[in-house]
Structure 1
Amino acid sequence: MLRKVYPISNADPLNCKSAKDSQNLLAELDVLFRSGSTENLHQAARLLNVTETFLHKLAPEIAASLVQRGTAIRHCRRIQREEARFHDFWQSFQELRFEGIYPARVKVLERMRRRTGKGLGFREAARFHKRAFDLAETSPYPSASPTRTSRD
């Protein structure tokens, strides 16, 4: 079976199907990058009306920086959401302590769910529970557990 041969175009060397040439796009990308108006590569590509792959070919350094910026922003947002969840957990933990009730993980989660309508997964709840006891300095966990020694 024969392949169809397409004529070679003298348009943009990067084969971009854009109304703008590469130099104009590069200048606009540089302005977007330096101004900080885009958080990641996807937003920059959408604003310039090109694909992310094209931006990687056009300006690999700027594209890599935009990818890294997007990763850092997502990481910061994840940490902020986690801290907000811990704050809710901590408030429920403290309420139970001030009422004279032992703040067991299940009780704290129940109180938090009633107060905020939000729940936590088992691992996150266990991690928050340990962190709350560490902050309260009344840890039920052994603070200095002896380390195991190898048998010789």
Structure 2
Amino acid sequence: FPEATIQRGILEKKLKHIFTETDSLPLSISKHGIRVWTKWENSSMLALSEAKFVPHHPNEFRSVLKDFSENFPKVNPMCETVINLKKEGDIREGVKSKIKFPFPLSDRLMIHWQYTHLDEDQDEHLVMFSEDGNDELLKEFHGEDEKK
């Protein structure tokens, strides 16, 4: 999957560069060891988050990140489901997530690529989600009943 490998490399490079810019980005959330920044590139919004849960060691979350699709709905009450759609080697996996919002907001269905890179550096783990290049996933897995 050479295209997926290239896409993953581009995303990782972009993410690492954006982390060097966090001092100049608007901080959306900052509490309990979690910080979230937002950055706009043309009409695309990038959300960048960092979680530093002290006293927990990052490897305590490794199994949660490894099986993210199974574990995320268990820890986030807004997430109804995360379904694994298709895998492209060890590079990326197509996933469909259904997020429940309170009335009057509509629920959100997200179909995107998930790039999981455990042990990026020693004790550092990276999970990236991207809708870039997900046209194939949308054609194959976005049902007519979901488009309403």
**Same fold by TM (over 0.5)?**
no
Alignment TM class, shorter chain as reference = under 0.3
Q: TM-score, normalised by structure 1?
A: 0.23
**Higher normalized strand content (fraction of residues):** 2
**Higher normalized helix content (fraction of residues):** 1
Q: Which has the larger radius of gyration?
A: 1
Q: TM-score, normalised by structure 2?
A: 0.23
